[in-house]
């Protein structure tokens, strides 16, 4: 077939480096940008096949999120705006690792297994972050797409969640919104203004928010969106990419892991601040108190704030809908305790990676999901959306109930249900704080985080660690879990686990305990156990100072 001949010829222009094996990880392929050209071309091919199979538009996003600027990556977006389904992650890995001469036969295999009709039309949309390598790499994706005569639309520089939104809008005939950047800004800002317009006496000071754009795409898009918000939110942007390096000493990942403010931000005491990550699908909040102490409000605090707000509105509206919160093993123990025991909401724990949380959240009327690092959103079931809309329009409902239903309706419109979205989450948080008349300090005191620490350990092959129980227990290598258990026993309110990262070549260590001193000691001892039992390389982990 002519199509395959063209694939053969064009793939020679996107050669695979010899001996390179990559895997579709937690959030797609991710490695040094130099090694990704062939992967991009091939993902263009695969997205086209996926589009033919699903008879829908598929998205391909070129980004490496919070990774250093030199890295890059790619992820595929399925028809409803969610991460591509696991079976196709497997195909992605096969296709990315096929030798040049086997490429067409691997493709034919996938076509056969999935019974894809190659005469179907296909449509692929692409987007990219601000990394210097992203432009060429997204061209390689489009090269793959054009080989198979698929229709394509390149959105160029967009945040990851904006591309997810485009895919969802495109595949629902505009029911979810208009599939343009303008449509995205209009939908979100309209909902935000509707939510905040009735809040009495909001001062300019309360409307002000300091935003760290991680020197990435989020900064660019915040600038674009600002006029739509009509001063209802007054953003002071830092790390806007005009001078600093992407994710370097700034951004949501840096702030969360280092537990300190980003460089380049001028924080006044009590001032509300937030950081996006490199592709603007994560957000964390923070402030410095008058004594100069730094306070972090991470994904767990965000989930608590949003689910409390939703529960209150549902009660006020008299709607009987179940709210659940989905977390991962990285969720602070205090947050889980608060959600279960005080808020009395169902909490479930999944493996790391948004695809797992998203999937679990779909099981509930309203599923709030957040990773501790600030990646998350809220999913409303069809039933929930219908009940809210009916009540908002019901002429017989009391004013109080109707008011609550209208707030819920606008909240639904403000949330990007395709995936976690820093901009959308920021607007929700700002609206909730305004509506409930809360300061960032009020929010912070809902519960107190247990001191925690995250570390990385380099090992020869991180695949030697296999885990179970939503990654909270290590099954291999032998003896590792026993060592962790023995170490945890030495401390109060302690918990620790280890797992291989799906985005970096490291093993991640997480620990929490009653004091920072204890948790730092525990995290260090667990790191040593990993180093010794799981083939550590380089220098032995040193105690934290």
How are beta strands 495-500 and 473-476 bridged, if at all?
unpaired
Residue 529 binding ligand GN1, by CB under 6 A? no
| Residue 11, marked binder | no
Residues in the chain: 545
Query: Which residue lies nearer to ligand GN1 by CB, 347 or 404?
Result: 347
129 in a labelled binding site: no
Is 372 annotated to bind a ligand? Reply is yes
Q: Tell me which of 212, 232, 279, 444 binds Mg ion, using CB under 5 A.
A: 279
Q: Which of residues 57-76 bind Mg ion (CB under 5 A)?
A: 65
When binding is defined by CB under 5 A, the residue of 71, 232, 277, 298 that contacts Mg ion is 277
Selection from Mg ion, ligand GN1, none that 279 binds (CB < 5 to 8 A by kind) is Mg ion
Closest to ligand GN1 by CB, 49 or 217: 217
Which residue is listed with tokens 């538009």? 57
How many CA atoms does the CB half-sphere of 434 hold within 13 Å? 27
**Is 127 annotated as ligand-binding?**
no
Closest residue to bound ligand GN1 by CB: 502
Other C-beta atoms closer than 10 Å to the C-beta of 119 total 6
Residues 6+ apart with CB under 8 A from 93: 22, 23, 24
Active-site residue identified among 11, 51, 65, 133: 65
Considering the complex, what minimum distance in angstroms separates the CB of residue 363 from ligand GN1? 20
Burial of 108 (0-12, 13-18, 19+ CB in 10 A): middle
Determine whether the annotation assigns residue 131 to a binding site: no
- Is residue 150 near ligand GN1 by the rule CB under 6 A? no
Known binding residue 277? Answer is yes
Closest CA to 151 of 73, 61, 52, 76: 52
Question: Could you tell me which of 374, 431, 426, 375 has the C-alpha nearest to residue 408?
Answer: 431
**Nearer Cβ to ligand GN1, position 26 or 159?**
26
Query: Is it true that the peptide bond before 91 is cis, omega within 30 degrees of 0?
Result: no
Total chain residues near ligand GN1 (CB under 6 A):
15
128 is in an annotated binding site: no
Annotated binding residue 405: no
Closest listed residue to residue 1, CA positions, set 82, 105, 89? 105
Please report whether residue 52 would count as binding ligand GN1 according to CB under 6 A: no
User: Nearest 5°: phi and psi at 70?
Assistant: -70, -20
56: annotated active-site residue? no
- Give exposure, 432-459, as e/b (b: 16+ Cβ within 10 Å): bbbbeebebeebbebbebbbbbbbebbb
419 part of the interface to ligand GN1, by CB under 6 A: no
DSSP per position, 340-358: IIIS--EEEEE-SSHHHHH
Query: Can residue 373 be called a binding residue for ligand GN1 (CB under 6 A)?
Result: yes
| Residues 110 and 45 sit within 8 Å (Cβ to Cβ) | no
Residue 244, classed as helix, strand or coil, is coil
- Nearest-approach distance from CB 274 to ligand GN1, in angstroms: 17
Q: CA separation (Å) from 76 to 46, 161, 378?
A: 9, 12, 21
Closest CA to 454 of 313, 344, 545, 330: 330
Q: State the minimum distance, in angstroms, from the CB of residue 259 to ligand GN1.
A: 13
Q: Which of 371, 449, 471, 512 is the binder for ligand GN1 (CB under 6 A)? A: 371
CB of 354 to ligand GN1, least distance (A): 5
Q: Which of residues 57-116 bind ligand GN1 (CB under 6 A)?
A: 65
**Least separation, in Å, of the C-beta of 177 and Mg ion?**
21
Q: Report in angstroms how near the CB of residue 433 gets to ligand GN1 at its nearest.
A: 25
The backbone region for 500, taken as left when phi is positive above 0, alpha when psi lies in -120 to 50, beta otherwise, is beta
Please, which residue, 504 or 512, has the CB nearer to ligand GN1? 504
Q: Order the strands of the 366-370 sheet from edge to edge.
A: 346-350, 323-328, 366-370, 376-380
330 binds, among ligand GN1, Mg ion, none (CB under 5 to 8 A by kind): ligand GN1
Nearest distance in Å: CB 127, ligand GN1: 16
Q: Compute the 3-state secondary structure of the chain and give helix, strand, coil in percent, each to the nearest 5.
A: 45, 20, 35
Q: Select 16 or 282, whichever has its Cβ closest to ligand GN1.
A: 282
Interface with Mg ion (CB under 5 A), residue total 4
Interaction mask 323-352, ligand GN1, x per CB under 6 A = -------x---------------------x
Per CB under 6 A, 480 contacts ligand GN1: no
- Name the burial class of residue 477, with classes exposed (0-12), middle (13-18) and buried (19+) by CB atoms within 10 angstroms of its CB: middle
Longest Cα–Cα distance in the chain? 71
Among 328, 303, 344, 322, smallest CA distance to 432 is for: 303
Looking at residues 396 to 455 of the shown chain, list those that interact with Mg ion (rule: CB under 5 A). Answer: none
Binder to ligand GN1 among 7, 27, 235, 237 (CB under 6 A)? 27
**Closest CB to ligand GN1 among residues 65, 452:** 65
- Selected from 430, 504, 512, 520, the binder of ligand GN1 by CB under 6 A is 504
Question: What radius of gyration, in Å, describes the C-alpha atoms of the chain?
Answer: 23
By C-alpha distance, which of 165, 154, 157 is closest to 131? 157
Contacting ligand GN1 (CB under 6 A), which of 353, 367, 451, 536? 353
* Stretch (H or E) spanning 210: strand 208-212
Tell me how far, at minimum, the Cβ of 506 lies from ligand GN1, in Å: 8
Nearer to ligand GN1, 145 or 283 (CB): 283
Provide the annotated active-site residues.
65
Sequence ranges of the binding site for substrate? 371-373, 499-503, 508
Binding site for Mg ion (CB under 5 A): 65, 277, 279, 281
Residue numbers at the binding site for ligand GN1 (CB under 6 A): 26-27, 65, 330, 352-354, 371, 373, 375, 501-504, 508
């Amino acid at each position: 077939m002519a199509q395959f001949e063209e694939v053969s010829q064009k793939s020679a222009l996107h050669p695979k480096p010899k001996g390179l094996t990559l895997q579709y990880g937690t959030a797609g392929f991710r490695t040094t940008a130099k090694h990704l050209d062939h992967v991009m071309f091939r993902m263009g091919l695969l997205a086209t096949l996926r589009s033919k199979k699903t008879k829908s538009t598929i998205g391909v996003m070129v980004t490496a999120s919070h990774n250093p600027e030199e890295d890059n990556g790619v992820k595929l977006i399925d028809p409803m705006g969610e991460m591509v389904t696991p079976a196709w992650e497997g195909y992605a890995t096969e296709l990315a690792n096929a030798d040049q001469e086997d490429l067409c036969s691997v493709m034919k295999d996938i076509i056969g297994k999935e019974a894809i009709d190659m005469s179907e039309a296909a449509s692929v949309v692409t987007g990219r972050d601000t990394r210097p390598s992203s432009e060429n790499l997204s061209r390689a994706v489009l090269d793959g797409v054009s080989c198979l005569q698929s229709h394509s639309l390149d959105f160029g520089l967009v945040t990851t969640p904006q591309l997810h939104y485009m895919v969802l809008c495109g595949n629902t005939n505009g029911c979810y919104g208009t599939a343009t950047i303008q449509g995205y800004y209009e939908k979100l800002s309209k909902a935000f203004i509707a939510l905040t317009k009735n809040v009495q006496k909001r001062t300019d000071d309360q409307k002000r928010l300091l935003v760290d754009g991680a020197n990435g795409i989020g900064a660019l898009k915040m600038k674009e969106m600002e006029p739509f918000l009509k001063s209802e939110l007054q953003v002071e942007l830092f790390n806007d990419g005009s001078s600093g390096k992407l994710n370097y000493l700034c951004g949501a990942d840096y702030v969360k892991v280092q537990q300190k403010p980003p460089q380049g931000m001028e924080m006044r005491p009590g001032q509300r601040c937030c950081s996006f990550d490199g592709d603007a699908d994560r957000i964390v909040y923070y402030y410095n108190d008058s004594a100069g102490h730094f306070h972090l409000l991470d994904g767990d605090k965000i989930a608590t704030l949003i689910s409390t707000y939703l529960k209150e509105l549902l009660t006020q509206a008299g709607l009987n809908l179940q709210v659940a919160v989905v977390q991962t093993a990285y969720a602070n123990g205090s947050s889980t305790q608060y959600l279960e025991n005080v808020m009395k909401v169902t909490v479930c724990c999944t493996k790391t990676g948004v695809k797992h949380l998203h999937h679990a959240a779909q099981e509930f009327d309203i599923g709030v999901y957040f990773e501790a690092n600030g990646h998350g959103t809220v999913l409303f079931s069809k039933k929930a959306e219908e009940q809210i809309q009916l009540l908002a329009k019901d002429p017989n409902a009391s004013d109080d109930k109707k008011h609550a239903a209208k707030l819920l309706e606008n909240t639904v419109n403000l949330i990007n249900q395709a995936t976690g979205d820093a901009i959308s989450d920021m607007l929700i948080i700002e609206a909730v704080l305004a509506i409930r008349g809360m300061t960032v300090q009020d929010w912070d005191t809902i519960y107190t985080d247990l001191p925690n620490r995250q570390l990385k350990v380099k090992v020869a092959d991180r695949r030697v660690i296999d885990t179970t129980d939503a990654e909270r227990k290590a099954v291999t290598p032998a003896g590792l879990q026993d060592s962790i258990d023995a170490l945890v026993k030495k401390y109060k309110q302690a918990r620790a686990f280890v797992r291989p990262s799906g985005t970096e070549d490291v093993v991640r260590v997480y620990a929490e305990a009653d004091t920072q001193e204890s948790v730092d000691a525990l995290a260090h001892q667990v790191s040593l156990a990993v180093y010794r039992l799981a083939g550590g390389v380089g220098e032995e982990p040193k105690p934290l100072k």
